[in-house]
Structure 1
Amino acid sequence: MNEDDCFPLLFSRRECSAIDAHVRMAASKAEVAEVLDRHDLSEDDFIAGFPGLAKAVQELPDESPPAI
């Protein structure tokens, strides 16, 4: 992460890294929504603070695939 990450947000680098990691591990938009909720982060703030990651989330399915 560089110095511009999370610029509009009041998160520490550690918090930004944790959010980034949790979102990257998410398998669906629903899981991303849970991550944002756990970090008390609105969708608008997520888009502002993590624009590249927010674009990647758009490619995820809405729901996780069923477990086998």
Structure 2
Amino acid sequence: MPALTSQTIENRYVDRRKLLRVLEKLFPAKNYAVRLQLNCWILTIPQPLTEDEINLFCTD
């Protein structure tokens, strides 16, 4: 099994529904975990998200 990486994103920018849709599209094997902790989303994912991918679910 490939190693997973952790990535943190501030909650105030994240649209939760869009986040989950993006992760489902990027990682169809569902080999990821998502949790909200101290007002940040902690993503455990196969590879770090790019800035463009993050922009798909973040708002200003």
Give the TM-score of the pair, scaled to structure 2: 0.33
**Which structure has the larger Rg?**
1
Bigger proportion of residues as strand: 2
Give the TM-score of the pair, scaled to structure 1: 0.31
Q: Which has the higher contact order (CA 8 A, sep 6+)?
A: 2
Bigger proportion of residues as helix: 1
